[in-house]
Structure 1
Amino acid sequence: MKAFKSISYVWEGRPQQVGDGFVGQSMIPSQRFQDFSPFLMLDHHGPMQVKPSPVPKGVDEHPHRGIETVTVVFEGALQHRDSAGNKGTIFAGDVQWMSAASGLVHEEKHEINFSRKGGTLDFVQLWVNLPRAHKMEAPRYQELTAAQIPVLQINDQTKLRLISGELNGLKGPALTYTPVLLAEVIIEGSSEFELQLPENYNVAIHVAQGEIALNDTQGIKAKRIAKLSQQGEWVSVATQGGMTRLLILGGEPINEPIASYGPFVMNTQAEIMQTLQDYQSGKMGFLEPVEY
């Protein structure tokens, strides 16, 4: 008999604005973030209408240490550059996986041509914690195009894109420091299906668009996240029509102390103080000004 995961709780996103160009909802409750380890944050920005602008809006130069940032674009386009020398542009279906690790500064903006034309922008950004053993490694940057992400056709209406981890014989292309499952499910119309997810992982399902019945729990609407039990392996999903988009998060919990201050996540307060000193002294680098 299949053992189904139970729903621990469903959380509705809280309004969130970052910089001057990203408006949306914060989906992981700050007081319960340990329930989602290794994930620390999930911000869903959009769908929002971007007005044409010759100067791209977004988030200006800022630092990180001790975490990875993962950006999944549903619609629109973003551009990135950082003090480790990485530059990139991601479009609908693409994923950027940046490991800040020992520290860098970066900026995230509307892609220049998209900014000039305007349009709909819809994306998710996650923060993934790093274990103590990897927090001070050199930064790493991965840019995954839609074509690099394997697809599982679950049924005629439903496909799953596997970004990281292993599922149903597929392996996601993203390199991770700890076991992390990240998948996007796109459903067009009415559909019913079951998924086998890892046991003993922290698992959650973010409803990015549409509405689902999850394990017979009706009416989980967009911009809500369902936290599932570690016990059990299976979930059942049903939709009644229209377009539905889900993001499945799973990972092996990092059972270590957390000390955080803004964009820095370490294990002790002493490490946070050292991080602040390193940033203020320029050890994380700088970005050269850009003229548009």
Structure 2
Amino acid sequence: MENDSALEIVVVPRTRDLGDNFEVRRALPTTQKRMVGPFVFLDQMGPHGFTAGHGLDVRPHPHIGLATVTYLFDGEIEHRDSVGSVQTIQRGAVNWMTAGSGIVHSERTNATTRQQASSLYGLQCWVALPKKHEETDPGFAHIAANALPKLEGDGASAIVVAGSFFGKTAPVPTLSDLFYVDVTLTAGSRLDVPAEYPEQAMYVVEGRLDLGRDGVFEAGQLLALKANTAVTLRGAGPGTTRLMLLGGEPMDGSRYVSWNFVSSSPDRLEQAKEDWKHQRFAAVPGETEFIPMPDIPGKPVGYP
């Protein structure tokens, strides 16, 4: 009997504690699934509550060959980078940082927010850049929540966070064909997701998602669809279901990943490591701390 499942694979990421009980779920990359379109990294941050006087402190660190996208469901993060950007992101907005030839940034809870208890909950992704843009000049863009396209109807809503989907395009400066969409479903509601791109997946953020004959899936799972497959999403209840749709066109060749660096060339990764070890990257204005280059044994991991 032919397998008529819409799913290629289901990834259940492990939870990691980064200290102070701040938990992260890493859905990409895993041994089961390395990439979905240009998406090579997906972390769920929190939900986490900070007591007064505490907060997030990610010291300056470098990237090359990718764009980072930060999207929050709760809380805020102050972003600072080596091109001079200083931007506090709050829930529903988008921070899109293009690393290109090289950028350094920090992510912290600002001093005002630390004066009282606060919370943080969101997703961070890395998008590999096409070969022709891997060495583009670094840059940063902030898009307010009210600037993102929205669709609503029959208990389902969707916000196009980046790229194009459902006939809408977000004003985010992507450099490849991709989509990143925030979907909310009330119990019993449905949403038809077309096969707009060859590679498509969904990450269940909260609630329960009903995929018909494929079953019901709990929060914290990445569901990768088979190539060019449409699917119908249903809110399984009892409360609201929230998920992120993501994917796009396949990459233009393999990508190698080592620490915070992504490239089509292993030699370029080694150069970036040496540059960081010897502090050849531009600094973040006003920051003196940094994350040292870790000792990474073996060769960079290549993604087909």
Cα displacement (A) at 1:11 = 1.1
Q: Percent identity?
A: 26
User: Which SS does the other structure have where 1:279 is aligned?
Assistant: helix
Cα displacement (A) at 1:56 = 4.1
After TM superposition, list the pairs within 5 Å mapping 1:49-60 onto structure 2: 49-53=49-53, 56-60=55-59
The aligned residue for residue 258 of structure 1 is: 255
Task: Say how many residue pairs are matched.
Answer: 285
User: Which SS does the other structure have where 1:84 is aligned?
Assistant: coil
Query: 2:175 matched to 1:177?
Result: yes
Residues 94/5 of structure 1: CA separation in 2 closer, same or farther (3 Å cut): farther
Cα displacement (A) at 1:15 = 1.4
C-alpha separation in 1, matches of 2:264 and 2:85: 27
User: Which SS does the other structure have where 1:190 is aligned?
Assistant: coil
Residues 19/256 of structure 1: CA separation in 2 closer, same or farther (3 Å cut): farther
User: Which SS does the other structure have where 1:198 is aligned?
Assistant: coil
Q: Please tell me whether the aligned partners of residues 19 and 58 of structure 1 are also in contact (alpha carbons under 8 angstroms).
A: no
Alignment partner for residue 214 of structure 1, among 211, 215, 231? 211
Name the TM-score, length of structure 1 as normaliser: 0.90
Q: Please tell me whether the aligned partners of residues 80 and 86 of structure 2 are also in contact (alpha carbons under 8 angstroms).
A: yes
After TM superposition, list the pairs within 5 Å mapping 1:130-169 onto structure 2: 130-155=129-154, 157-169=155-167
What is the identity, as a one-letter code, of the residue corresponding to 1:46?
G
C-alpha separation in 2, matches of 1:106 and 1:217: 41
C-alpha separation in 2, matches of 1:173 and 1:17: 34
Q: Please tell me whether the aligned partners of residues 190 and 232 of structure 2 are also in contact (alpha carbons under 8 angstroms).
A: no
Q: Please tell me whether the aligned partners of residues 5 and 233 of structure 1 are also in contact (alpha carbons under 8 angstroms).
A: no
Q: Please tell me whether the aligned partners of residues 18 and 58 of structure 1 are also in contact (alpha carbons under 8 angstroms).
A: no
Residues 140/197 of structure 1: CA separation in 2 closer, same or farther (3 Å cut): farther
Task: Give the structure with the larger strand fraction.
Answer: 1
What is the identity, as a one-letter code, of the residue corresponding to 1:267?
S
- CA deviations on 1:198-230 (whole Å, 9 max, x unpaired) are 142x11100001111124322200001100011
What is the identity, as a one-letter code, of the residue corresponding to 2:14?
R
The aligned residue for residue 298 of structure 2 is: none
What is the identity, as a one-letter code, of the residue corresponding to 2:269?
I
C-alpha separation in 2, matches of 1:50 and 1:189: 31
User: Structure 1: which 5+ residue stretches go unaligned?
Assistant: none
Cα displacement (A) at 1:67 = 0.9
User: Which SS does the other structure have where 1:31 is aligned?
Assistant: coil
Stretch moving more, 125-134 or 268-277: 268-277
Q: Please tell me whether the aligned partners of residues 99 and 140 of structure 1 are also in contact (alpha carbons under 8 angstroms).
A: yes
The aligned residue for residue 198 of structure 1 is: 196
C-alpha separation in 2, matches of 1:5 and 1:255: 28
C-alpha separation in 1, matches of 2:260 and 2:92: 26
The aligned residue for residue 78 of structure 2 is: 79
C-alpha separation in 2, matches of 1:79 and 1:21: 20
Residues 114/215 of structure 1: CA separation in 2 closer, same or farther (3 Å cut): farther
Cα displacement (A) at 1:276 = 2.1
Q: Please tell me whether the aligned partners of residues 11 and 33 of structure 2 are also in contact (alpha carbons under 8 angstroms).
A: no
Residues 50/127 of structure 1: CA separation in 2 closer, same or farther (3 Å cut): same
- CA deviations on 1:44-95 (whole Å, 9 max, x unpaired) are 0111111111x64321111111111111000011110011111100111111
Stretch moving more, 252-261 or 17-26: 17-26
What is the identity, as a one-letter code, of the residue corresponding to 1:68?
A
After TM superposition, list the pairs within 5 Å mapping 1:1-292 onto structure 2: 6-18=6-18, 22-53=22-53, 56-155=55-154, 157-200=155-198, 202-289=199-286
C-alpha separation in 1, matches of 2:120 and 2:186: 20
What is the identity, as a one-letter code, of the residue corresponding to 1:48?
H
- CA deviations on 1:175-200 (whole Å, 9 max, x unpaired) are 21110101001224431231224142
User: Which SS does the other structure have where 2:237 is aligned?
Assistant: strand
Q: Please tell me whether the aligned partners of residues 258 and 267 of structure 1 are also in contact (alpha carbons under 8 angstroms).
A: yes
Stretch moving more, 21-30 or 70-79: 21-30
Name the TM-score, length of structure 2 as normaliser: 0.86
